[in-house]
Structure 1
Amino acid sequence: MKEFYPKKGRVILHVDMNSFFASVEMAYDHSLKGKPLAVAGDEEKRKGIVVTCSYEARKYGVKTTMPLWEARKLCPHLIVKKPNFERYRTASQAMFEELRQISELVEPVSIDEGYIDITDCYELGSPMQIAETIQRSLLEQLDLPCSIGIAPNKFLAKMASDMKKPLGITILRKRDIPAVVWPLPTIEMHGIGEKTAEKLKAIQINTIGDLAHAHDMQLRAALGIRGLQLKERANGKDARPVDPDAAEGNKSIGSSITLPRDIANQSQLLSVLGDLSKSVSQRLKHKGYLTKNVSVTIRYKDRKTISRGRKINNPILGAEEIFQAAKPLFIDNWNGNSVRLLGITGQDLVEEDRAFEQLDLFSYEKAARKEPLYKAIDKITSKYGTSILQKGIDVQRGFKNKKM
C-alpha cells in the first residue's frame, strides 16, 4: 500500500464526531434516533441555549447557540436533553482509544475531535481504507457517527472533515486547493470567525483565494502577525506535527510591573491588574493564543513573593475575562501589605484556530453567549438584546508594563 502514501510528507486525518452530544444521547437511548433532538440548558428556563442538535432538528432551522425558546418555536416537537457530562467524557475517551488502535500519533483537539497521523500505517491499507475502518469502528463499537478529512497537513485535514457531514470522508490534496478551497468565503476557513472575516472584508478580501494572494503588509496592518499565519494556511501550508502531548503543553504569556512606589490601596492595585490584563490580552491576540490557566504574582515591599493560579474551563482571550479570573486570586491571597510588584500570566495556552469551536462542558451556556467566533452570536445579541460585553474598570495610566 506504500504507493498510496507520499515519499515525502505526511498523511493526516482529522476525525470530527457528528453532533457529538446528541449522538451520544442517541447511542444511550435508541428511541431518540431519527428524531429532532437538542442538548441544551435548563429546559424550564427561557434562557437555555442549544449546545448541539441532531441533523433532524437542523432541518427545522434549529442551530447551536440558539435560545431554547426559539428552537421550540421552530420545532414544537423538539426533544430536549440536559447535558450529561460524565456520559460525554466516557464516550470521548472511548473514541480516542479507538483512534490509538490505529496509530500512537493521536492529538485530541477537543472532546469530540482530534488528529491522527497515519503516515507509517500503510500496512493497514490506503488512507481511504483506514478512514473507512475508523468510521465503521466508531459506528459499530460506540454507535457514534463521524466525518473524516484526509490531507497532507492538519489545516487541510480539518477543512476536509467539514466538507461532508454527517458520515463523510473527504480527501483534500494541495493540488485541490485552487479549485476547492479558494472559492470559499473567508468565514468558511478554519481559524477565521465573524470579526476576522469583517476585518478582511474591509480590505476587499472576501474569499480564501483573496487571502492566499493578499499583500503581506496589508494583512499585517489589518491583523498583525496573525494575518500572515492565515495567509499561509490559505495557501495550504501548515508544518504543525500531530503531537500527542500537545494538550499537556505549559506555554505561558504574561506581564508584570514593578510599581513606582509601594501601594497598599486595593482600588489602585485592582486598577494595575486591569492594565496588566489588557497587556496579556494584547500579547495573546498578537501570538494567536487563548489561555486556560490564569495566575497572579504578588511581591511585597519585603520582597516576599507568592504566585497563585486557577484553571479556566473554557479558553479565554479578552482583557475583561482575564481580569475577572485574576481579581479573585488577588483578593483572596493579598495580605493587605504594601505591594512592590504585580504580575498576571496566562498558562496552558491553546492556539486560536484550535480553540475557537470548543465548548466547555461546565460552562457551555456562558461560552455559547460569549464566544466571538461562533457565527450566531451577533444575530442573537442584536435580535434579543443579550449583551456579550461587560463593563471594564477604570485603569490608572502611567505605569509601564514589563514583559515576563
Structure 2
Amino acid sequence: MTLLAAGYSVRGLAQSAWRGGWTVVAVDYFGDRDLAERVPTRSVRGDRGEGYSAEALVDLARSFEADSVVYTGGLENHGEVVAALARGRELLGNDPFVLRRVRDWRLLRSLFTEEAIPFPRTLFPGEEIGAREGRWLSKPVGGAGGTGLRLYGGERLREGRLLQEFLPGLPASATFLCDGRRSRLLGLTEQLVGHRALTERPFAWCGNVFPLELSDEGRRLLERIGDVLVRAFGLKGLNGVDFIVTERDGRRWPLPVEVNPRPAASLEILEAAWGGSLFPFHVAACRGFLPDGDLSFREGFWGKAVVYARRSLNVSCSGDWYDKNRRDIPHDGESVAAGSPVCTLLAEAKRRDGCIGALLEGARVLRDEIGDR
C-alpha cells in the first residue's frame, strides 16, 4: 500500500507515516532535503519554480500512483483540492464536506454558544460595531499558522475576514483522535507564537513544546470540546484545536480560537515523547476504530521551533544539519526569501525552560552559521 502525503509542508507527517510502516510518496511546496532523501518527492518550488498554490499539488500528484492520501496544514481550507487528490484513493482524513463545515466560524460560533462553551467573542463583516471596546484581532477566515493575523484598527471588515477578541494568555493546542463518533484527547502543547528570536511577524506560529500542564477542570473542558466537535461534524483521525489559556473568574480556562481538522505540526513532538509513530492510530480512527488505553509519555519536555529568515539568503554546507537536530532542511545552494522558514529545530530537556532555552540557543547558532543575524 502506497500513501500520498500532500500539503504545504509534509516532512513531519510523511516521517510519521513511514515510521508507521507505510510506503510514502510526497508532494508539497518545499521538497526539503530530509524529505526527498527518504521518499519520492515532488515540490512546487523545486519542480515548478513557482510560489505556493494548493492547486499545484494536484498536478504534481499525477506523477505518483498511490492507494491512499493524507493531507496536512493549509489544505483544510481547500476542500476541492482534497477532493481531487482523493479521487481514486482512500482518503485518510476529513472529507471536503466536513472541512467546509468545521472551518465555518459562523457555524462554530453558534455551536459553542448553544453548548455553553466559552470562547473569544467573534464578529463578522457588518458586526464591527461590537468591537468598539477592547482589543481585537482581524483574522482571515481561511488562514493558517498566523498568516494574515493583525490587530484590528477599526476599519470596515472585508468578506473573508473576521474579528476575534484579543485575550491575554498562553497560546496552546490540543490533539484529538476521532473516529467520526467519539474523540480522545491525546496531548496538550504550548505554542511558540511571534517569538522575536524566531520570526519578525508578531502572530506567526513558530513551534510547540510538549507537555502543557493544565488543571483537571481545564482538561475536562477540552475533552468536552472534542466530544462536541466530533458529534457536530463527524471528525475523523488526528485533529487539532488551538486555544488560549486565560484567566476568567479567577480560574485558568482554555478558550478555543481555531479548529484544525487534520494532523497538526505538534504531532512530531508527541511522537518523540511517546517513542513511536502515531500514524497507525490516525489510520485506524479514519476507518472507524478508536484505539483504547492511554498513551504513556516519557518524563521530560520536547520542543520544535521554526526559524524564519530575517533577510534573503542562500543556504550552503547543510550536510550535517540533520545530526544537529535540524529538520525541514533546504538543499545546498537553495535561496530562502526574507520571512520564509529556514528550517525546524528539535530539542529535548528535563524541564520546560531548558527545552525552550535549547531551541532559542539553536536558533542563535543557526543564524550565526548562515549570516542571518
Structure (1/2) with the larger helix percentage:
1
TM over 0.5: no
TM-score (norm 1): 0.25
Q: Which one has a bigger Cα radius of gyration?
A: 1
Structure (1/2) with the larger strand percentage:
2
TM-score (norm 2): 0.27
